[in-house]
Structure 1
Amino acid sequence: MTRLRNDRHLSVAGLQTMIDNGEIDTVIVCCTDMQGRLQGKRMHAGYFADGVLAHGTEGCNYLLAVDIEMNTVDGYAISSWERGYGDMIFALDLDTLRLLPHQPGTAMVQCDLTWLDGAPVVESPRTILKTQLDRLAKLGYQALAGTELEFIAFDTPYADAWRQGYRDLVPSTSYNVDYSILGTTAVEPLLREIRNAMYGAGMTVESAKGECNPGQQEIGFRYAEALTTADNHVVYKTAAKQIAAQHGKSITFMAKYNEREGNSCHIHLSLRGTDGRLVFADDTGRTELYDHFIAGILTTMADFTLLYAPNINSYKRFADGSFAPTAIGWGVDNRTCAVRLVGQGESARLENRVPGGDVNPYLALAAMIAGGLHGIEHELPLPAEVQGNAYESGLPRVPQTLLAARDAFTHSAIARETLSDAVVDHYTTMADVELAAFGAAVTDWELRRSFERM
């Protein structure tokens, strides 16, 4: 028997009954890749029950060694032409069994990745997060987290957007609809279906609200144990795109679609004891442990920015006065800081405002926990709170380019100590691949500025 995360998740027995009754004919078996995308197979439900449920399935190990366009690239230790591009095991995590209401007759199970001998693939994003959660558990703590993921919706379908080179798309709202009930009405049929489908898929949906950029929206979900939150995040991100396509629309989670407001993914995190006790707050306010945890996240912010901002485009968000942070500082309910403290008592938590909509939640949460644990283990003192505008504080800044973040990560002794050399080298290669691809590209900006006038 496997535990249910809530009463809207599927038990194995419940899935088998639905398969036997013909209610489920397809089971998606998937993992999360480096870029935070679901990869895997759609399996006939009868075959899944008879041939996969007991032992998992296999998939090519190149899934953790390709660029975003699925091109095989050099430089990865775990997968290459020389190694023969062999298989990994998709090890089913039956806690994640769920229905997908927007996909008729379909259930899904998420997986860990192991080698054929059963050893974990340590470079897998889900394994990286579970490793940090294990470190917490050994100290008697658990992590609770929530991700606030923004996107921009367009009335232009995906196929047309592709043909148009993703230019001149029609946003689903025409102006700033931040908190506007009237302004978001036009896109409410899409938002409503996403909310209801994700509720049916086992998530606890809180609300939807408009944002500043035309077409920009946010759907919020209740916090959960950190692994559950990351699992839900990647399912929601894929499902939202699928549902948008079913409505003849498209959405993007890229960090900076245009010169206006980017898509953020603020991550809220708190610790509790494994017995549920509060550890971030007591009768006097913040605990010393909470202060050390915050200090650790700030100390490692530059080292771990690559895991918060993994793409070339990620760094377009970091602009003064943009509500995306530039200064590595903290403040109480201060949205100009990289780390914002919110809540009191049992709701006390920190908000990391660095990640954008393109973040891989497993990697970002792992980095936050690793950084916080570094602060706890070394009893790091909390620096002074930022009072007022952090953009004008003169504090050290979040790395402003992928290259700067890559260099900070690969040379970080803390990253290598807490995440392992294998993980650091693997994700350094991912950055190198993206930097090389962008360095070889001729952009439309260059053409507009140079074709005639140069």
Structure 2
Amino acid sequence: MPSDIPTKDWLRKHPEVRTIRVAAADLNGQARGKRIPARFADKVVAEGTRFPLSVLNLDIWGEDIDDSPLIFDAGDADGVLRPTERGFVPMPWLDAPTALLPIWMYRENGQPYDGDPRHALAGVLRGFRRHGLTPVVATELEFFLIDDSGRKLQVPLSPRSGKRRKAAETLSIRALDAFDAFFTDLYDAAEAMDIPADTAISETGLGQFEINMVHTADALRAADDAWLFKMLVKGLARRHGFAASFMAKPYAEYAGNGLHTHFSLIDAEGENVFDDGGPKGSDTLRHAVGGCLAAMHECGLIFAPHANSYERLVPEMHAPTSIAWAYENRTAALRIPAGNPAARRVEHRVSGGDVNPYLMLAAILGAALIGIEERIEPPAPITGNAYAQGLPQIPADWQEAIDDFERSETVARIFPPELIRNYVLTKRQELHYMAELTPEERLEVYLDTV
């Protein structure tokens, strides 16, 4: 790994930055790392830093996994964490000028650590490169702005009117304008962090919004953007006096947060291989759809990783529950949008906002690649309401999702054995301890963490 990816000149051009954070994403997408004085940053850039391999395998509370073989059996050995190609990014939600250096984990011998979710996505992308293909990816991130100062969650007071509108505001300019100061700061911060935040809309939930990311031919970058954007939104909301959360379902009576993903594939000439010149798309698109559908149930734990995730996956609440695909139909798990054939793509609509973006993209793209390699034919696209057609279902139960993920041959083709083992251990521990909590206590855990 080259040591000059995050140029040292960045900090020299930003002398106001006195401290840095170095952080990697654990299996839950939580940032794990260290605070370091900026004057020691050159050493981190050149040599990396170290912390235990087990740190990327903590539960949602940040606790060790009780029976993890990484700890006592292996002596809780260190990994070496090196900067990713992202380099330094500012952290505009903090009071003091600070920079974040994203890192990922390697073993002592220089090999990528298989329990690192970013390396899992990198492995899937290597599979596409062997076929001369590059995924083009965009994400749509939904989140709630929440007043969590009392015992019951509610929409924050409008900074403009001082009123609290307790209603859905679908595609409401008024709702966007009510929080204009927050969104103005958010877009300025996203630009400073080089996150390609595009259109913002108000959504169907109480104080719910969505921001789309611009398509990129770098899926690792797309996952980085989603991971960093979630940190930014939550941190910046606190500066504005309220909370923001990507948890799947904070309000039982309103739709939950999704993290929809659009993807296409380009060849060595930059041509979209999903485009057949017409509205249906190519054979390659159809095979990618077939792979995604075939893997959808067994990858359910990636798309719905937490207890609260399954409260979102209920019929008629704007989240797909059926394993099906369709053209221009948002009740299906996979939607093929209309429009210019050159932009033909697949929209994967299953994931909640609480997912780990690296694992999510690895699961989606990995399944699509299997479909392309094996020329998997999907069932016929549906028309009408997917909820009412008796179709195969996405897991509706956390325990079922864990079990199916653990024994899946398809999952084993997408993810390394060590990551599968660690993820299952993590989820079984969380399942056990979440059962001891009240709904209010579970809500408190997820509000800030995911």
Identify the residue that residue 56 of structure 2 maps to in structure 1: 64
Pairs aligned (count): 430
Contact 1:256 1:262 (C-alpha < 8 Å) held by counterparts: yes
Identify the residue that residue 181 of structure 1 maps to in structure 2: 173
Identify the residue that residue 202 of structure 1 maps to in structure 2: 194
Residue type of the alignment partner of 2:115: E
Identify the residue that residue 88 of structure 1 maps to in structure 2: 79
- Is residue 222 of structure 1 aligned with residue 214 of structure 2? yes
Identify the residue that residue 341 of structure 2 maps to in structure 1: 345
Q: Deviations over 1:92-147 (max 9, x none)?
A: 11433323344443222211211122121111110110000011111111111111
Q: Alpha carbons of 1:429 and 1:3: their partners in 2 closer, same or farther (altered >3 Å)?
A: closer
Q: Which moved more, 1:229-238 or 1:279-288?
A: 279-288
Identify the residue that residue 112 of structure 1 maps to in structure 2: 104
Q: 1:315: how far off? A: 0.8
Contact 2:65 2:425 (C-alpha < 8 Å) held by counterparts: no
Q: 1:437: how far off? A: 1.2
Q: Which moved more, 1:270-279 or 1:322-331?
A: 270-279
Q: Which moved more, 1:96-105 or 1:300-309?
A: 96-105
Q: Which moved more, 1:213-222 or 1:281-290?
A: 281-290
Identify the residue that residue 268 of structure 1 maps to in structure 2: 262
> Counterparts of 1:16 and 1:442 in 2: how far apart (Å)?
46
Contact 1:92 1:109 (C-alpha < 8 Å) held by counterparts: yes
TM-score w.r.t. length of structure 2 = 0.90
Contact 1:38 1:235 (C-alpha < 8 Å) held by counterparts: no
Q: Structure 2 stretches of 5 or more lacking a match?
A: 158-164, 443-450
Q: Which secondary structure state, in structure 2, belongs to the residue aligned with residue 119 of structure 1?
A: coil
- Is residue 331 of structure 1 aligned with residue 326 of structure 2? yes
Contact 1:198 1:205 (C-alpha < 8 Å) held by counterparts: yes
Contact 1:336 1:390 (C-alpha < 8 Å) held by counterparts: yes
Contact 2:6 2:45 (C-alpha < 8 Å) held by counterparts: no
> Counterparts of 2:28 and 2:304 in 1: how far apart (Å)?
11
> Counterparts of 2:440 and 2:260 in 1: how far apart (Å)?
30
Identify the residue that residue 446 of structure 2 maps to in structure 1: none
1:23-34 alignment, distance < 5 Å: 23-34=16-27
TM-score w.r.t. length of structure 1 = 0.89
Contact 1:37 1:238 (C-alpha < 8 Å) held by counterparts: no
> Counterparts of 1:435 and 1:332 in 2: how far apart (Å)?
36
Residue type of the alignment partner of 2:207: G
Residue type of the alignment partner of 1:295: G
Q: Which moved more, 1:366-375 or 1:108-117?
A: 108-117
Contact 1:28 1:108 (C-alpha < 8 Å) held by counterparts: yes
Identify the residue that residue 17 of structure 1 maps to in structure 2: 12
Contact 2:272 2:343 (C-alpha < 8 Å) held by counterparts: no
Identify the residue that residue 37 of structure 2 maps to in structure 1: 44
Q: Structure 1 stretches of 5 or more lacking a match?
A: 5-9, 447-454
Q: 2:303 aligns with which of 299, 308, 315?
A: 308
Q: 1:155: how far off? A: 3.6
Contact 1:3 1:95 (C-alpha < 8 Å) held by counterparts: no
Contact 2:290 2:368 (C-alpha < 8 Å) held by counterparts: yes
Identify the residue that residue 140 of structure 2 maps to in structure 1: 148
Q: 1:398: how far off? A: 0.6
Q: 1:232 aligns with which of 225, 244, 247?
A: 225
> Counterparts of 1:71 and 1:3 in 2: how far apart (Å)?
32
Q: 1:176: how far off? A: 1.3
Q: Deviations over 1:10-31 (max 9, x none)?
A: 9615314325xx2322222111
Contact 2:26 2:57 (C-alpha < 8 Å) held by counterparts: no
Q: Alpha carbons of 1:95 and 1:71: their partners in 2 closer, same or farther (altered >3 Å)?
A: closer
Q: 1:33: how far off? A: 0.8
Q: Deviations over 1:151-186 (max 9, x none)?
A: 111244xxx46xx4xx24444543211111113322
Identify the residue that residue 432 of structure 1 maps to in structure 2: 428
Q: Alpha carbons of 1:346 and 1:26: their partners in 2 closer, same or farther (altered >3 Å)?
A: farther
Q: Alpha carbons of 1:445 and 1:242: their partners in 2 closer, same or farther (altered >3 Å)?
A: closer
Q: Alpha carbons of 1:25 and 1:445: their partners in 2 closer, same or farther (altered >3 Å)?
A: closer
Identify the residue that residue 298 of structure 1 maps to in structure 2: 293
Residue type of the alignment partner of 2:271: R
Q: Alpha carbons of 1:94 and 1:299: their partners in 2 closer, same or farther (altered >3 Å)?
A: closer
Q: 1:34: how far off? A: 0.8
Q: Alpha carbons of 1:228 and 1:170: their partners in 2 closer, same or farther (altered >3 Å)?
A: same
Residue type of the alignment partner of 1:338: A
Q: Which secondary structure state, in structure 2, belongs to the residue aligned with residue 395 of structure 1?
A: coil
- Is residue 421 of structure 1 aligned with residue 417 of structure 2? yes
Contact 1:386 1:393 (C-alpha < 8 Å) held by counterparts: no
- Is residue 277 of structure 1 aligned with residue 260 of structure 2? no
1:126-141 alignment, distance < 5 Å: 126-141=118-133
> Counterparts of 1:431 and 1:69 in 2: how far apart (Å)?
12
Identify the residue that residue 449 of structure 1 maps to in structure 2: none
Q: 1:88: how far off? A: 1.4
Residue type of the alignment partner of 2:33: G
Q: Deviations over 1:62-85 (max 9, x none)?
A: 2122211111122333x2133332
Residue type of the alignment partner of 2:39: G
> Counterparts of 2:205 and 2:11 in 1: how far apart (Å)?
45
> Counterparts of 2:423 and 2:136 in 1: how far apart (Å)?
25
Q: Alpha carbons of 1:445 and 1:344: their partners in 2 closer, same or farther (altered >3 Å)?
A: same
Could you say what the CA RMSD is over the residues aligned between the two structures, in angstroms? Answer: 2.3
Q: 2:315 aligns with which of 291, 312, 320?
A: 320
Identify the residue that residue 125 of structure 1 maps to in structure 2: 117
Contact 1:152 1:171 (C-alpha < 8 Å) held by counterparts: no
- Among the aligned pairs, what percent are the same residue? 30
Q: Which secondary structure state, in structure 1, belongs to the residue aligned with residue 308 of structure 2?
A: helix
